[in-house]
Chains A and B, each alone.
Chain A
Amino acid sequence: MMTALDPAKLSVADITSGFAAGEFSAREMVDAAFEVIEQRDKDIHAFLELTPELAYAKATELDEARAKGEPIGPLAAVPSGFKDNMNQVGTHTTCGSAMLESYVSPYDATCVANIIKAGGLPLGKLNMDEFAFGSSTETSYFGRTMNPWDLERVPGGSSGGSAAAVAGGLATITLGSDTGGSIRQPAAFCGVVGLKPTYGVVSRYGVVAFGSSLDQVGPFGKTVRDVASALNALSGRDPLDCTSQECTVDFTANLEEGVRGMKVGIIPSLTFAEGATPEVRQAVEEAARNLEGLGAELVEVDLPHVEASLAAYYVIGPAEAFSNLSRFDSIRYGHRAQGCADLVEQYERSRAEGFSTEARRRIMLGSYLLSADAYNTYYYPAQQVRTLITRDYVEAFKKVDVILLPTSPRTAFKFGEISDPTSMYLSDMFTVSINIAGNGGISLPTGPGVDTGLPTAVQLVGPQFGDDVILRAAAALETCYDIPRVAPMCARGGE
């Protein structure tokens, strides 16, 4: 084992260029990655399933391609992992639920296939809140994932495993899905970069749906450039997802162009609303000053309807979830209750046993919200609010290029610290409006909080299909912070 080969310290560019130059083989990279995982993941528990056969098979393919001088792909030999709601042939896709404990994927999600096609090494599947319902990964049926910065704390959620894997140095690129903040909030809690692209930039085919009109797949990485490289592999029209869009942008091309002359929107009324902790506000203020220092112009904008985001989100999200999850009926796959007298009992007991409390809560909520009596009182107005919020963003982006917001109202909390669902739902207060409007948002780490010492972060939001702009702004802002991306305790051999 070459001690020099430490995936935790390498960026995507380091790995692809090192591999191309013959400094190491892809199989050696797989060896190194699984060695790190073996050492660290017993503490973090980011992975639900490891797939060494798949990783070594891909590595062999890459090594052979390189030997023959064939193309090796833009993510060649990059250790990668996938949230466990993403189908991948040869793996279980559990969605963190007892319902799908024994479900084996018969097909590949497009996002998974794209990362592997680009050369990514598939290390395994990553923990998540059950069916992505949560902001802490505590609702996973398969146990919690620890925040690599403080093992007593949650990694955020629902893509907690994906964020923790990058922060723990267990993988270089991981994929998550974001319905109301499920990429950006765990990225913030774990001090890594997480991007929710504009709805339609990345195919959702093969990703088990939560809220079909809100869900979007995106990458986690240590740096903005890593995330941009992954987005290049992920983006584009998929004939199997008719909501996906044509995309020919090279997201890494303009990362160094800076923010000089860029207009950055700030929303003091929102940022300083009740709920955000002082260290979070301070992180946003500091980021604003940094952007100004880099030559950007700060412009106050208003999103008058954004305060209704959470309310609309907790109507549309559960409604769609109720419908999407109704297929889990135990008939052809999934948990089946034993000894049922008839079909209705089989439905009821299988679903009662297979879904945990939070999933049952959202299913019942969605079922109510779509019922004939409630539809016009809740669902329809929520869609109207959605239109207003979308328009707010459209109007704001006539004045500015990006908008700066907090990602999460606070830094990572302790296990069990937030137990009532309503408080947990507030974790999404700065992220959900972007899903509602369909825009892209990126969470960028901004160093330890002044009060907790835990990772803080800010969020940059762009206009629809302006993902290249937020990546460019984030890349510029990133230069202002000299902070580790892999949690210090996980950096190999100590730092």
Chain B
Amino acid sequence: MKTIQEVFRDWEAVIGLEVHTELTTLKTKMFCDCPIDFGAPPNTHTCPVCLGLPGALPVPNRAAIESIVLAGLATNCDIEKRSMFYRKTYMYPDMPKNFQTTQGPIAFCMRGGLDLTVSGQGSDERIDVEHAEDGSYTTHIGITRIHMEEDAGKMIHVGGTDGRIAGASYSLVDYNRAGTPLIELVTEPDLRTPEEARRFMQKLRQIFLAIGISDCSMEEGSMRCDGNISLRRRGSTGFGTKTELKNMNSFKALHDGLAYEICRQAEVLEQGGVIYQETRHFEPATKRTIVMRTKETAEDYRLFPEPDLAPYDLSDEFIERVRAKLPELPDAKSARYQDEFGLAAADAETLAGDPAWARFFEDAAAGSGHAVRIANLMINELAGQLKGGDIATCKVAPASLAELADLVDGDAISGKQAKEVLAEMLETGDGPAAIVERRGMKQVSDAGELEAIVEQLIADNPDKVEAYRNGKKGLTGFFVGQAMKATKGQGNPKVISQIVTRYLEG
């Protein structure tokens, strides 16, 4: 099979995404008062409404409507003042009423879009647009609609081979999730590369996190994504037959699944084959996609307006009230971090993309003269040491991290020492000054003291000095390393490096 770069020379991929996001930050379900609580024992958060018992009626959750309007405003959608709920019929035990309450042709949010800047890794997948000097480019991804619907329950099939209902000895259903409000965002087929799809999804996740409507966990399924992919010859404007790709439950899986599917389709087409309209399943282990079901005829969901729910009218006042709740969105925040704190674009984007990290950064950077160092410590040290833990509840306070940045920038300790101090801060919750004091750490920047050490090293290693002077310039590192060792890691690496270079060149 060809690589994606090879495929893209001849083919253009047309990709659209359908993104489902559970509104996990809401307290109650879409049409009843049952709490949303994913850790709860099975079937403990149910009632006649979400169990679809005879006679029960839905009452819309106003907070959920507010969430979807917020999502629409944050993605530049038009908010429809009058939209309706519809019933979508399908019989399956995870859907208690055997229809899903969703929306019809007019959703709460229509006709939106996001500008997407793709830089760095993967930006070279796109070859038909002009790239900036740094390799980045910007493209616009249209959003067709965002509609509201309810989630189904969760099923576990016991026995059988592949976890499916066919062949299972019995199946279990947990209706705790049934009726959880879900928003589905549908993009225009504007994405052209797997990297764009990945970046779009990341951006969307950052926005949804910023507006606080979901915990957006792809691993736990509170944010899920299906892709529609077709290929066409470069230069053509028609659409090929598309396949629908499911089970891409990480950003990497989204990229790799789409990339595989694009290469697969190219191979089929180049061998004179035909692409069938079908749903395919991504297998992360093999990085392949396999057929789930073919769609020879479109399923008939018997969609019709939900007679138990009147058309939903949103007033201008309501929409404006929601608009007033829009927080600063990641793009604006990132721009501000670059302007206000002088952060590099990549660092600014990283911090701005996660509300908890952004809040921590801003708390730490407020009044500190060392925002760049703070950002650097957060991204390069804290992120790794937290190992996925929650920054908001870790033992390092923003003020302590600012203090640590002051120590590094003031040359009181080295970067390497800062790493150790941070580890202890995380462990004990102590401030950096106390740890430095306790460990007797301080950075040796005294040129005289360091010079003596370097001088000794030069004297002890004449062969290496010789080799250096014969062109093995990489040996600088050996002398710096030995000098650091001699100072028990407390030497100022910048000063040591200067001295070593002077001696070797001299």
Contact = CB atoms under 8 A, between A and B. Distances in A.
B304 A370 contact: yes
B302 A205 contact: no
Contact of B165 (A87, A107, A204, A343): A343
B434 interface: no
A242 B91 CA distance: 26
Q: Which of A106, A241, A326, A342 gathers the greatest number of chain B CB atoms within 10 Å?
A: A326
Interface stretch (A206-214, A267-275, A425-433, A458-466): A206-214
Contacts of B166: 342
A208 B55 contact: yes
B304 A347 contact: no
Contact of B308 (A212, A322, A375): A212
Contacts of B308: 209, 212, 242-243
A485 to B, nearest CB: 30
Contacts of A342: 166
Contacts of B91: 326, 329, 347
Contacts of B307: 211-213, 320
Given A212-B308, A320-B307, A326 B98 contact: yes
A438 B25 CA distance: 38
A322 B91 CA distance: 12
Contacts of A479: none
B87 interface: yes
Contacts of B98: 326-327, 329
Contacts of B60: 242
Nearest to B299: A372
A450 interface: no
Interface in A298-325: 319-320, 322-323
A375 B52 contact: no
B54 A331 contact: no
A95 B54 CA distance: 10
A109 interface: yes
Interface string B158-173: 0000000110000001
Nearest to B301: A372
Interface in B37-93: 48, 51-60, 87, 89, 91, 93
A243 B303 CA distance: 21
Contacts of B303: 370
Contacts of B302: 322-323, 367, 370-372
A100 to B, nearest CB: 7
Nearest to A242: B59
Contact of A343 (B48, B53, B93): B93
A375 B93 CA distance: 26
B428 to A, nearest CB: 52
B198 interface: no
A413 to B, nearest CB: 30
Q: Which of B87, B165, B303 gathers the greatest number of chain A CB atoms within 10 Å?
A: B87
A207 B53 CA distance: 10
Given A212-B308, A319-B304, A326 B89 contact: yes
Nearest to B298: A372
A68 interface: no
B51 A332 contact: yes
B472 to A, nearest CB: 73
A488 interface: no
A201 to B, nearest CB: 15
A379 interface: yes
Interface string B299-318: 01011100111100000000
Interface in B7-45: none
B99 interface: yes
A239 interface: yes
Interface in A77-92: 85-87
A107 B300 contact: no
Contacts of B280: none
B145 interface: no
Contacts of B173: 331
Contacts of B58: 242
Contacts of A241: 57, 59
Q: Which of A86, A95, A319, A327 gathers the greatest number of chain B CB atoms within 10 Å?
A: A327
A379 B55 contact: no
B192 interface: no
The interface residues of chain B, by DSSP majority, are classed as loop
Contacts of B97: 326-327
Contacts of A326: 89, 91, 97-99
Nearest to B175: A332
A93 B300 CA distance: 32
B54 A107 contact: no
Nearest to B51: A332
Nearest to B49: A240
Nearest to A239: B59
A14 B58 CA distance: 39
A368 B300 CA distance: 11
Given A323-B99, A332-B96, A93 B304 contact: no
Given A327-B97, A327-B98, A206 B51 contact: no
A352 to B, nearest CB: 14
Contacts of B310: 242-243
A24 interface: no
A103 interface: yes
Nearest to A372: B300
B15 to A, nearest CB: 27
Q: Which of A86, A240, A342, A375 gathers the greatest number of chain B CB atoms within 10 Å?
A: A240
A243 B312 CA distance: 12
Contacts of A207: 55
B154 to A, nearest CB: 15
B60 to A, nearest CB: 7
Interface string A98-129: 00100100110100000000000000000000
Contacts of B55: 85-87, 93, 109, 205-209
B324 to A, nearest CB: 26
A100 B87 contact: no
A327 B303 CA distance: 16
Interface string A330-366: 0111000000001100010000000000000000000
B54 A103 contact: yes
A371 B309 CA distance: 21
B93 A331 contact: yes
A106 B91 CA distance: 23
Contacts of A93: 54-55
Nearest to B309: A242
A367 B302 CA distance: 8
Contacts of A319: 304
A370 B89 contact: yes
A326 B51 CA distance: 13
A104 to B, nearest CB: 11
B269 to A, nearest CB: 30
A100 B302 CA distance: 25
Contacts of B56: 205-206
B165 A323 contact: no
A331 B173 CA distance: 10
A242 B54 contact: no
Given A213-B307, A242-B60, A323-B302, A107 B53 contact: yes
Contacts of B57: 204-205, 209, 240-243
A320 B51 CA distance: 19
Interface of B: 48, 51-60, 87, 89, 91, 93, 96-99, 165-166, 173, 298, 300, 302-304, 307-310
19 contacts: A87-B54, A93-B54, A205-B55, A213-B307, A241-B59, A242-B309, A243-B57, A243-B309, A319-B304, A323-B89, A326-B91, A327-B98, A331-B173, A333-B53, A342-B166, A370-B89, A370-B304, A372-B302, A375-B304
Given A323-B304, A327-B52, 12 more contacts: A85-B55, A95-B54, A103-B54, A205-B57, A212-B308, A241-B59, A322-B302, A323-B87, A323-B302, A326-B97, A326-B98, A328-B54
The 6 closest A-B pairs by CB, nearest first: A213-B307, A212-B307, A370-B302, A326-B98, A208-B54, A206-B55
